[in-house]
């Protein structure tokens, strides 16, 4: 599932590296020594639908099918 937001906040870690955070799935997309190194990871990031469902951000696929039948 594509992020669709297009914005990933960066967090500076104690060791001087940076984390890129997906605002949709709240996962750490990548960790790198410079912020510039995070861009390729952000462009290719796809949110994990299962993880989104576990966090209640989306309805699990099985529920879509069951609701459509009922």
Determine the pLDDT at residue 68: 46
Q: Mind listing the pLDDT tens digit for each residue in 21-40?
A: 998 888 999 999 999 999 99
Average pLDDT for residues 6-16, to the nearest whole number?
A: 91
Q: Are 43 and 30 in contact (CB under 8 A)?
A: no
- 5 Cβ contact list (under 8 Å, min separation 6): 22, 23, 24
Give the max Cα distance, the chain. 53
Overall average pLDDT of the 1-16 stretch: 78
For residue 4, tell me if it sits in a domain. no
Q: Is residue 1 part of a domain?
A: no
The neighbouring-strand residues paired with 18 are: 12, 32
State how many domains the chain has. Answer: 1
- Tens of pLDDT, residue by residue over 42-61, are 999 998 888 777 777 655 55
Q: Is residue 50 part of a domain?
A: yes
Q: What is the predicted pLDDT for the residue at 20? A: 95
35 inside domain = yes
Question: Is residue 44 one of the residues assigned to a domain?
Answer: yes
Per-residue pLDDT, 60: 53
- Residue 24 DSSP symbol: T
């Amino acid at each position: 599932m594509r992020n669709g937001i297009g914005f990933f906040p960066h967090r500076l870690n104690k060791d001087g590296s940076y984390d890129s955070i997906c605002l949709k799935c709240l996962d750490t997309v990548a960790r790198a020594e410079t912020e510039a190194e995070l861009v390729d990871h952000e462009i290719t990031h796809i949110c994990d639908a299962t993880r989104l469902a576990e966090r209640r951000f989306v309805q699990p696929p099985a529920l879509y099918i069951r609701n459509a039948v009922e």
